Amino acid sequence: MWLSTVLLALRSIRRNLMRSFLTVLGIVIGVSAVITMVTVGNGATLAVQSQISGLGTNLLQVRPGQRMGPGSGGASAPAFKDTDAEAIASQIGGVAAAAPEARSSGTLVANGRNWTSGITGSTNDWLAIGNWTLASGRVFTDAELRAGAAVCLIGETVRRELFGNGSALGEQLRVKQISCEVVGVLASKGQGAFGNDQDDTVFMPIKTLQRRITGNTQVNTLLVSMAEGSDAARVKASLTQLLRERRKLADSDEDNFNVLDTKQLADTLSGTTRIMTTLLGAVAAVSLLVGGIGIMNIMLVSVTERTRE
């Protein structure tokens, strides 16, 4: 009995090959869309987690602005100063290193070529905190940092785009309105959590960036590396208290800065990618639903035809 039923079904499929193909195609497209979208979302989540874990668990980022929430006034909060990082490193126990960070961007000119890149100003501690190493050359001297000398380190992408296969060490690189000497090339780190090219960067003393590029002394971020085995909660509390004193906040005033550790950063980014995965899955589910409706219509036509028989 079952064999005759199977044979009857196969004969029916052969008689309606196009209809059968469209029926299968609808469900294949829907299922493939769901699998692909969810896989892409999960891959993005894993990439973010991998990048954050590469920073280690001992990193703190301090940014100006009130805490997230309704009515926050982060935009009017004053920026930091270079000396804030020095005070953190010298006055708080459990801190291995602290570095100010200022950023800009601009067109780079060297060797008859142009390239647009991000520009970061900081101290040598920024390299250690960010797990940067040198492929060639040297870091800045204390004299260069104090004087705001026209020297810089470049990422591998910048080196390749401006100098090709040649050496960049000792070459002059024009950054906006100044010409600086390339004293080192950073080892390649590849893509970041969101696909950004980490090697597309120029690094120079923060005083050089402030005096010759941006024209102001603002510091966008303070990066703090905690010593191994230190109490993160105690370090954050001490850091918060020190910055409140330096920014002359009264006891009744809210913090006008945010202190984020890598765990909080990872949780925030992971939450964002989870939302993205859910949205992608929902879009793919619509494709599956449309395919299912198409299959139901074709099956209804088939049943109606057989009913007349």
pLDDT in tens, 166-189: 899 999 999 888 999 999 999 998
pLDDT score of 40:
75
Highest mean pLDDT among 67-71, 228-232, 302-306 belongs to: 228-232
pLDDT score of 222:
95
Q: Is 135's pLDDT higher than 90?
A: yes
Helix (H) or strand (E) holding 99: strand 95-110
pLDDT score of 34:
75
Range of the domain at 126: 56-265
- Which of these, 206, 240, 193, 205, lies nearest to 62 by C-alpha position? 240
Tokens linked to 41: 């979302």
Least confident of 74-88, 156-170, 202-216, 245-259: 74-88
Q: Considering the domain boundaries, does residue 289 fall inside one?
A: no
In angstroms, what CA-CA distances link 4 with 10, 12, 304? 10, 12, 21
Tokens linked to 38: 């969810």
Q: Considering the domain boundaries, does residue 62 fall inside one?
A: yes
DSSP one-letter code for 67: P
Q: Is 3's pLDDT higher than 60?
A: yes
Sign of the Cα pseudo-torsion (23, 27, 28, 29, in order): positive
Q: What is the pLDDT of residues 243-302, one digit of tens each?
A: 999 999 998 889 999 888 876 666 766 677 778 777 777 777 777 777 777 777 777 766
Go through 145-164 and write b for each residue having 16 or more CB atoms within 10 A of its CB, e for each that does not. beebbbbbbbbbbbbbbbbe
- Non-local (6+) Cβ contacts of 132 within 8 A are 126, 186, 187, 189
Work out how many domains the chain is built from and give that number. Answer: 1
pLDDT score of 25:
76
Q: Considering the domain boundaries, does residue 203 fall inside one?
A: yes
Q: Considering the domain boundaries, does residue 39 fall inside one?
A: no
Residue the block writes with tokens 């060639």: 136
Q: Considering the domain boundaries, does residue 113 fall inside one?
A: yes
Rounded to whole angstroms, how far apart are CA atoms 201 and 189? 11
pLDDT score of 190:
82
3-state secondary structure of 77: coil
pLDDT score of 155:
95
Q: Considering the domain boundaries, does residue 282 fall inside one?
A: no
**pLDDT band, very low/low/confident/very high, at 17 (cuts 50, 70, 90):** confident
pLDDT score of 75:
47
* Mean predicted confidence (pLDDT) in 12-22: 72
Q: Considering the domain boundaries, does residue 248 fall inside one?
A: yes
SS (H, E, C) 174-188: EECCEEEEEEEEECC
Rounded to whole angstroms, how far apart are CA atoms 170 and 38? 49
Q: Considering the domain boundaries, does residue 238 fall inside one?
A: yes
**pLDDT band, very low/low/confident/very high, at 71 (cuts 50, 70, 90):** very low
Residues for the chain: how many in total? 309
Q: What is the pLDDT of residues 225-256, one digit of tens each?
A: 988 888 888 999 999 999 999 999 998 889 99
* Mean predicted confidence (pLDDT) in 35-45: 75
